[in-house]
Structure 1
């Protein structure tokens, strides 16, 4: 959990830093592989120390392991406690993180999408700007959003954009794609670079398809518990919105909501 914490925090940011996030994916994988190869003995020493300090019995690691079903070690090919904890528990937990979580969520297609999207990053005065990468991003990943003619015109806009926006004094020292999008609107550049603006807005939806979705499922687990398993969809959706956007709803005055609800029509019960 300590190894994956930095990556999790980066992916939960509302303004996703694509380059740093992909770096964290690579470093997380490398650290997990190192942990798998070298971390078991260190972990075992720590566990043994904790057990000794708290009077917890430690099994003989060379003894035959007996499963919870009560089967003898002969039925499990004489597997020892050492083998069980190292391979069946420690290695399996790490392999699950690498294969099921990291490799499945960050497959070759997802990695390429994020890499091509980074060509729109304005940081360091558009250091990563690349016409071919932006064109390939629109052509390969957003074919329904750009027609063949628009793709041809997109390349033409990118050629002008390269000399206009990148060297324009009003677009210097920008660090995020969202800030770039706002700056294009403020300077009325979107009417000339509407296809580039469309590409930027499509890239800005990437955090919505990752962090916000994960937050929604996490919120659902907290709200729809076993005691609330009959909650209707409308109430669940309203409750989730309030929970997810709690930094905004915290500023809402509850009394003002009651007053507005009370003033809508006459009611038998007195709310005030």
Structure 2
């Protein structure tokens, strides 16, 4: 395993390498590190579905909102039952301590401590629960609550104009009414400014456009079920501005909101897989090209064109197939 390998490397004659390996081994066999690792694993096992969902290309905002609330509720339950939850985590940590021959002791506590946690506890498991597990889960809960506040979640209501969503919620007048009300509260001033109508007129006009928009996609879904757009950007070409002036403006807003696309996040995930330590000298053009191909797998690339471009470039060696 990693610790055994580091211990072996720490005995090398190369002082620089052995010193680094020794320091890494000490860090990995530290009680704080092992407890932190298992605490993170426990919490991230709950939050990972959000990460996958929000990085998917075609996001279902309604499902995303429900899952986010479920995750927050689960984390708050873990926080309330932190004694029992951490007891299970600490049992796993103990098996690692025994395997690595780590002695479990209570860290030194003082009356005044500035650089690390100093809770007044009497047992190691209580210390690590208070000093590591609770601050971490509290931070995650606060961060998720801030990132997905009521103002942010209300923006998700713009997904009403996606065909799959409007077909699904149109018959539920309660959900539909809430979405329209949230949209008007959030973006009503923009519609009034661009269309020069009163607020009451905008309300009536938007309601009528939504009925037409729903009927349009119901009919199109029956005729061409395979050509229904899944993203706001793809939806723009179907939205005639003269016919749907309110919806057109709202779809344009949805298209540029960070909450409606995760292309950047997918690119970051691609870069982690592409630019490894064995490819650190890769040029920027090649890296950008590989990242785009990896992210947009639906693009068809003509291999013959690639070969022709490659063959035309100047090379010291002859290009032979």
With normalisation by structure 1, the TM-score equals 0.70
Query: How many residues matched?
Result: 253
Structure 2: gaps of 5 or more residues = 1-43
Q: How many Å separate the matches in 2 of 1:183 and 1:215?
A: 21
How far apart, in 2, do the equivalents of 1:208 and 1:166 lie? 23
Q: Which residue of 1 aligns with 2:109?
A: 73
Matches within 5 A, 1:97-176: 97-100=140-143, 102-114=144-156, 116-120=157-161, 121-124=165-168, 126=170, 127=172, 128-130=175-177, 131-139=180-188, 143=190, 148-150=193-195, 152=197, 155=203, 157-167=205-215, 170=219
Match of 1:29 in 2: 72
- Structure 1: tracts of 5 or more residues without a match: 66-71
C-alpha separation in 1, matches of 2:282 and 2:255: 33
Counterpart-to-counterpart distance in 1, 2:150 and 2:141:
14
1:260 matched to 2:312? The reply is: no
The match for 2:230 among 175, 178, 183 is 178
Larger fraction in helix: 2
Cα deviation for residue 139 of structure 1 reads 3.7
Instruction: Determine the C-alpha separation between the residues in 1 that align with 2:134 and 2:259.
Output: 33
* Structure 2: distance between partners of 1:177 and 1:216: 22
Query: Are 1:196 and 2:247 counterparts?
Result: yes
Structure 1 180/238 Cα, relative in aligned 2: closer, same or farther at 3 Å? closer
The residue aligned with 1:93 is 136
Asked whether the 8 Å contact 1:7–1:21 carries over to 2, the reply is yes
